[in-house]
């Protein structure tokens, strides 16, 4: 049954993924992009003009308290997710926060507690949970087609920017392969097998001090998962399998 209610959505932080999100939102029924916020007014105005958004702000706080908004999508760098999600939740707004949810579990549990206290919706923008391939895997396992899972090999890598000043290699902004893409194979393992009994992880550090790749071994009573994340430099590209 279709709902006639429209969700009034806003975007906080207008970087690369915010543009992708704004384009895709226009394809979704029942959702209207009504406001955006940047640290810079001109940037906010330009974004609002490009995507036909009625309201724009040069203050994240002003967006968080704006009356026209029900739901705020947070698209700032990883280190700000906790602060910005908390700001919006405290203002009573529902939140979809970019992955990784936060920098560590302490921050995540505080965000969840705050959302429960204010009774607002809070979700990590984990797109891999919603793609048909993931649902197919869940169905195949649920109907017993492949029997009990005894192992998962999962990796995620891409030719990242070679610029060591980019967000991906910036420790202050929560860069590194684990937080950027390692979360995807790890999430797959959690989704299909739950919490492991034992975790063993190794990483190679870049000169900026973040992990340019990491390998994680999850051990369960009856299964083992080899999970890997790689920020490949252009010249290091190689097949992942
Ligand atoms: N789901 C996915 O597939 C996917 C893909 C890519 C990225 N992401 C996630 O989305 C988030 C943003 O990634 P992105 O690639 O869009 O990053 P980005 O291009 O660097 O944009 C981040 C935006 O955050 C705001 N910001 C606030 N304080 C900042 C600071 N001190 N330094 C830099 N930016 C600051 C800026 O917006 P204003 O200048 O407008 O304030 C900036 O444009 C990250 O958490 C990332 O993990 C998800």
Of 98, 91, 94, 96, which Cα lies nearest the Cα of 77? 98
The domain ranges of the chain are 7-125, 131-236
Q: What is the reported pLDDT for 239?
A: 45
DSSP string for residues in 25-87: HTTSTTEEEEEEE-SSHHHHHHHHHHTT-SEEES-HHHHHT-TT-SEEEE-S-GGGHHHHHHH
Distance 31 CA to ligand 1 centre (A): 22
Query: Per-residue pLDDT averaged across 57-72, rounded?
Result: 98
Fold (topology level) of 7-125 = Rossmann fold (3.40.50)
Give yes or no for residue 233 having a pLDDT over 70: no
98 lines ligand 1 (CB under 6 A): yes
Rounded to the nearest whole angstrom, what is the distance from the C-alpha of residue 204 to the centroid of ligand 1? 24
Q: How confident is the model at residue 240 (pLDDT cuts 50, 70, 90)?
A: very low
pLDDT at 241 over 90: no
241 alpha carbon to ligand 1 midpoint, in Å?
A: 30
pLDDT band, very low/low/confident/very high, at 159 (cuts 50, 70, 90): confident
Domain pair 7-125 / 131-236, same fold: no
pLDDT confidence of residue 137 = 95
19 CB within 6 A, ligand 1: no
Q: Is 13 in the pocket of ligand 1 (CB under 6 A)?
A: yes
- pTM for this predicted structure: 0.94
Q: Quick one: CA torsion of 144, 147, 148, 153, rounded to 10 degrees? A: -110
pLDDT exceeds cutoff 50 at 9: yes
Q: Is the minimum distance from the CB of 77 to ligand 1 under 6 angstroms?
A: yes
Q: CB pairs under 8 A, 24+ apart, for 112-118? A: 114/86, 114/89, 114/90, 115/89, 118/89, 118/90, 118/92
| pLDDT tens digits along 196-220 | 999 999 999 999 999 999 999 999 9
Q: Is the sign of the CA dihedral 119, 125, 131, 134 positive or negative? A: negative
| pLDDT tens by residue, 96-154 | 999 999 999 999 999 999 999 999 999 999 999 999 999 999 999 999 999 999 999 99
Q: Which CATH number fits the domain 131-236, given the four candidates 3.30.910.10, 3.30.360.10, 3.40.50.720, 3.40.50.970? A: 3.30.360.10
């Amino acid at each position: 049954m279709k709902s006639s209610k429209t969700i009034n959505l806003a975007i906080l932080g207008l970087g690369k993924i915010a543009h992708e999100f704004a384009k895709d939102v226009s394809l979704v029924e029942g959702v209207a992009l009504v406001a955006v916020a940047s640290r810079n007014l001109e940037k906010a105005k330009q974004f609002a003009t490009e995507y036909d958004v009625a309201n724009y702000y040069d203050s994240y706080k002003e967006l968080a308290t704006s009356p026209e908004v029900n739901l705020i999508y947070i698209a700032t760098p990883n280190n700000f997710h906790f602060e910005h999600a908390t700001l919006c939740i405290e203002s009573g707004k529902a939140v979809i926060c970019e992955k990784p949810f936060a920098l560590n579990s302490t921050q995540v549990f505080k965000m969840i507690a705050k959302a429960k206290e204010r009774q607002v919706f809070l979700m990590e923008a984990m797109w891999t949970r919603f793609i048909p391939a993931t649902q197919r895997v869940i169905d195949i396992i649920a109907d017993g087609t492949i029997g009990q899972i005894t192992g998962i090999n999962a990796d995620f890598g891409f030719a990242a920017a070679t610029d060591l000043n980019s967000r991906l290699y910036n420790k202050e902004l929560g860069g590194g392969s684990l937080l950027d893409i390692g979360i995807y194979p790890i999430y797959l393992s959690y989704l299909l097998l739950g919490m492991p009994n034992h975790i063993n992880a190794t990483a190679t550090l870049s000169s900026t001090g973040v992990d340019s790749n990491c390998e994680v071994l999850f051990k369960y009573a009856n299964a083992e998962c080899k999970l890997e994340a790689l920020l490949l430099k252009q010249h290091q590209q190689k097949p992942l399998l």
